[in-house]
Amino acid sequence: MAKNLLIVESPAKAKTIEKILGSDFEVKSCYGHIRDLEKDDMGIDIKNNFAPRYIIPEDKEKVVKELKSLAKKSEEVWLATDEDREGEAISWHLCEVLGLDPHTTKRIVFHEITKPAIESAVKNPRLLNMNLVNAQQARRILDRIVGFELSPVLWRKMSMRNSLSAGRVQSVAVRLIAEREREINAFSAESTFKLEAWFSAHDTAKKAVTFKAEGHKYKQAEDAEAFLKSCIGADYTVKDVQVKPAKKSPSAPFTTSTLQQEASRKLGYSVSKTMLLAQKLYESGKITYMRTDSVSLSQTALDDIKKAIETSYGKKFVEIRKYKNKNESAQEAHEAIRPTYMDETSVDDSDTKRLYELIWKRTMASQMADAELEKTIAKIEISTNKEQLTAQGEVLKFEGFLKVYREDADEEDMTEDEGQEGMLPPLVIGQKPEFKEMKATERFSRPSPRYTEASLVKKLEELGIGRPSTYAPTISTVQKRGYVEKRDKEGVKRDYRVLLLKKDKIDKETLQENTGAEKSKLFPTDLGLVVTDFLREHFNEIMDYGFTAKIEGEFDEVAHGREKWTKMIDHFYNPFHSSVETTLETAERIKGERELGVDPASGKKVVARMGRFGPMVQIGDVSDEEKPRFAKLKNTQSIETISYDEAMDLFRLPRNLGVFEDTDVTVNIGRFGPYVAHNKLFYSLPKEVDPYSVSLEELTPLIAEKRQAKEERTIKVFEKEKIQLLRGPYGPYIKQGLRNFRLPKEQQDKAADLTIEEVKAFIEEAKANPPKKAPRKKKA
């Protein structure tokens, strides 16, 4: 038994540290937080100065038990949780649970897992910082209050059966997406005519090369045309040539958020995929910790990187840099994300290979020299008018960090013309390059792009909302709640005009381009839009983009001992709680209703609104004598944008197509998409079949085919008991009513011979031993 027990948060870290510290220390992990607020009654005694009631969650009981017994046997327990607010609190909870005295227990911290860092930490233990712990308690309690008071307001005011939720982080994330969508809907594109001219000149090898020069932008086609006309027969002379050196610097090494952004742009990974792969790399010891907001690297790492750059590219390419965090809310408990050993340029595992190489390259580049460029700007005069054309070129003089890594820009950060600039042939003042042609092309302004998962994370981080460990879960929460959907959008065709001046003649032509196409972007659902509006109307403070930053400032006051946490929470709670009460009393139910027009057949109003089962359109009112007609919106439609015609179109279903084999055939769109119903059986329609126009003749072969497929899937039917034996993708299984049950493996071959008694026994058995999933929390 080792004399000392040292507790860290992550088990992978524990292993490494144990090796460093040797036999005097046993290093164990507590797997993050070991206690949390009880759920009943919020777990807070509001009236008793917000006294928290902590419990050990079921899934933490095992580790707590183990730590308790080890603590008892050890001479001394050391707390080495992360050095940030949450880490400090975890240490305090450990004291409470393990019965350690917070006034004497040794607390140590390090920001990097290296021998010198850990040995120096052990030599310089400190005590728990209760102010920091209290700042964490304030954070935890405020989040619980906001979440557990706002969510029930939604349950009361929304007529949906979903388990809706609201919170300091998720609700603002949805708001960002909702506002962006409305910005895009309200956007009207303006067009300008961009002027480009092509010339030819000789390069140093006396070869003719074509280069481009740009002119003014014109708002009107007439003006662009007038300019082209004025250039007919002109002479073009180089007026001015300027050569300027320029530099590009590498980006900082990866944090969680920048890793997610680059993996999304370069590899097309979702944030959750990135985190899953990074976790694997971390657990196998290939990279440092992947949930971090720090851009700094340890000295050992810097030495290692320097050596790697020197070996591969030479001393000239090394430039050691200290990066600083821009973000004030960063808590920097860890290093930046980097390979553990730079001489491992790749990994064998095919899953994680691409992500590892991305991290490796970014880490290398971060300590490499600037790229040096030479920018050339040439002005070209036109003999027939006063305008000038500008040609720009760029030559890479020294690659520097670009040798290993090029960062991709966000769509959002790019200005319109920012493409890679090519090389210019050498130009001198007075030179007359050969004119080829000149073009005025109509270009449209674009709205801000919809968020991707990664660009949303970037935005949240900028606002200081959420933490590295919560970015991925937050994105999945807002999707799970049905506020946001990730999907593609098809573009629409748009005409644009081009005017071409060539050989002293002007040609006009209209071309087509595709615009507004989006891939894997975040769209708000109608639910997300109406809930956001509601929360904005009644809880504007929480929904404010600056709310988190504001309360973070107050948590800091607590952390520095300048304010009591209970006082801070009290200040927040009273006004917040009273707006919860007034909202519950006075606010109307959330409907999001929008009037679209009048149905000519009945003379009744047509409205789009939220119903119990989602967005729908309705003709007439429930108070009318005749029942209103309802139709569900398609999932790409929205209450806010659906037109009258599109709404009326939805009422064309269900369609009765006539009789086939003595029974009616109807088509409709159900929960699982378009289907055809015939003789009490339902068949999904293939994608290419349009339920609005399909005919009976087209459908009958489909019905026959689907019916046969269904029969082939059926092994045996017990009509009376309503039990079926079916063949599924995982082999034979039992179906009773709506429920499926597994068939024991050894029975699968003789499924066809089973009797009803045997099948019933299997159902009982399956019911008694339900397949184990992630254990759902039971109520005690």
Q: What angle do CA 746, 749, 715 make, to 5 degrees?
A: 125
Closer residue to DNA (CB): 369 or 472: 472
Cα angle 305, 306, 311; round to 5: 100
3-class DSSP assignment, residue 155: helix
When binding is defined by CB under 7 A, the residue of 2, 11, 70, 599 that contacts DNA is: 11
Instruction: Convert residues 282-311 into a mask of x (bound to DNA by CB under 7 A) and - (unbound).
Output: -x-----x-x--------------------
Cβ-based nearer residue to DNA, 83 or 181: 83
> Residue 528 interacts with DNA (CB under 7 A)?
no
In the complex with DNA, which residue's Cβ is closer, 395 or 763?
763
- Taking the complex as a whole, the smallest distance from the CB of residue 643 to DNA amounts, in Å, to 19
* Interstrand relation of 484-489 and 492-502 (parallel, antiparallel or unpaired): unpaired
Q: How far is the CB of 614 from DNA (least distance, A)?
A: 6
Q: Which of 168, 194, 450, 538 binds DNA (CB under 7 A)?
A: 168
Q: Which residues are catalytic?
A: 289
How far is C-alpha 735 from the geometric centre of its chain's CA atoms? 38
SS (HEC) of 666-735: EEEEECCEEEEEECCEEEECCCCCCCCCCCHHHHHHHHHHHHHHHHHHEEEEECCCCEEEEEECCEEEEE
State which residue, 167 or 433, has the beta carbon closest to DNA: 167
Question: By C-beta, is 495 or 711 nearer to DNA?
Answer: 711
Report the alpha-carbon distance of residue 150 to residue 529 in Å, rounded: 16
Between residue 171 and residue 210, which ones bind DNA under the rule CB under 7 A?
Answer: 171
- Distance of closest approach, residue 154 Cβ to DNA, in angstroms: 8
Neighbours of 260 (CB within 10 A): 32
Q: Could you tell me the sign of the dihedral formed by the alpha carbons of 684, 690, 693, 694, in that order? A: negative
Residue 9 or 304 having the CB closest to DNA: 9
Tokens of 476: 């999945």
In the complex, least distance from residue 740 CB atom to DNA, rounded to whole angstroms: 5
- Closest contact distance (angstroms) between CB of 181 and DNA is 20
Least separation in angstroms between residue 494's CB and DNA is 34
Binders of DNA among residues 716 to 745 (CB under 7 A) are 730, 733, 738, 740, 742
220 to 194, 223, 504: CA distances (angstroms) = 11, 5, 21
Write out the H or E segment, with its range, that includes residue 363.
helix 353-366
DSSP 34-98: --EE-SGGGGEEGGGTTEE-EE--GGGHHHHHHHHHHHHHSSEEEE---SSHHHHHHHHHHHHHH
**Closest CB 263 distance from DNA, rounded Å:** 17
Q: Among 152, 449, 482, 516, which residue interacts with DNA (rule: CB under 7 A)?
A: 152
CB of 193 vs DNA, minimal distance in Å:
47
Site track 76-95 with DNA (rule: CB under 7 A), x = hit:
------x-xxx---x-----
Q: What are the angstrom distances between the C-alpha of 382 and each of 194, 222, 233, 297, 561?
A: 17, 20, 10, 55, 70
CB of 21 to DNA, least distance (A): 18
Residues within window 420-479 making contact with DNA, judged by CB under 7 A = 466-470, 473-474, 477
Query: Is residue 214 within 8 Å of residue 386, measured between CB atoms?
Result: no
Among 74, 131, 170, 258, binds DNA (CB under 7 A): 170
Q: Distance (Å, rounded) from C-alpha 86 to C-alpha 100?
A: 19
Contact 144, 463 (CB under 8 A): no
Q: Choose between 199 and 741: whose C-beta lies nearer to DNA.
A: 741
Residue 505 or residue 777: which is nearer to DNA going by CB? 777
In the region spanning residues 578 to 637, those forming contacts with DNA, defined by CB under 7 A, are 589, 611-614, 616, 622, 630-632
Residue 689: CB partners within 8 Å, gap ≥ 6?
Answer: 674, 698, 702
Cβ-based nearer residue to DNA, 63 or 506: 63
Residues 672-691 that bind DNA (CB under 7 A): 672-673, 675, 677, 682-684
Is the distance from CB of 448 to CB of 182 less than 8 angstroms?
A: no
Half-sphere exposure of 656 (CA within 13 A, CB side): 5
Q: Which two tokens stand for residue 560?
A: 């520095």
Q: Find the binder of DNA among 94, 169, 402, 535 (CB under 7 A).
A: 169
Residue 612: CB minimum distance to DNA, A: 5
Site residues for DNA, window 312-351 (CB under 7 A)? Answer: 331
Nearer CB in complex with DNA: 446/577: 577
Please confirm whether the linkage preceding 654 is cis (ω < 30° from 0).
yes
Shortest Å, Cβ 31 to DNA: 4
Q: Which residues contact 107 (CB under 8 A, 6 or more apart)?
A: 78, 79, 80, 91, 125, 126, 127, 128, 129
CB of residue 741 to DNA, shortest distance in Å: 8
Q: Which stretch binds DNA (CB under 7 A): 169-177, 348-356, 482-490, 494-502?
A: 169-177
Task: Tell me if 762 sits within 8 A of 741, measured CB to CB.
Answer: yes
Scanning 316-324, 376-384, 484-492, 668-676 for contacts with DNA by CB under 7 A, the matching segment is: 668-676
Residue 385 or 740 having the CB closest to DNA: 740
Q: CB 730 → DNA: shortest distance, Å?
A: 4
Name the 3-class secondary structure at 32: coil
User: Which residues touch 25 (CB under 8 Å, ≥6 apart)?
Assistant: 2, 3, 4, 5, 6, 17, 18, 78
Q: Which is nearer to DNA, 235 or 664 (CB)?
A: 664
Which CA distances in Å does 79 have to 91, 109, 228, 397? 6, 8, 76, 52
User: Does residue 229 contact residue 425 with C-beta atoms inside 8 Å?
Assistant: no
Rounded to a whole number of angstroms, the CA Rg of the chain reads: 33
Q: How far apart are CA 84 and CA 107, in angstroms?
A: 13
Question: Which of 19, 386, 720, 772 is close enough to bind DNA by CB under 7 A?
Answer: 772
98 versus 146: smaller Cβ distance to DNA: 146
Residues 365-394 that bind DNA (CB under 7 A): none
Site for DNA in 24-63 (CB under 7 A): 29, 31-33, 36-37, 39
Total residues belonging to the chain: 780
- State which of positions 220-279 bind DNA (CB under 7 A): 279
Considering only residues 494 through 523, tell me which ones interact with DNA, judged by CB under 7 A.
none
Which of residues 76, 143, 179, 518 is near DNA by CB under 7 A? 143
- In the block, residue with structure tokens 């309705």: 618
Tell me the CB-side half-sphere exposure of residue 667, using CA atoms within 13 A: 23
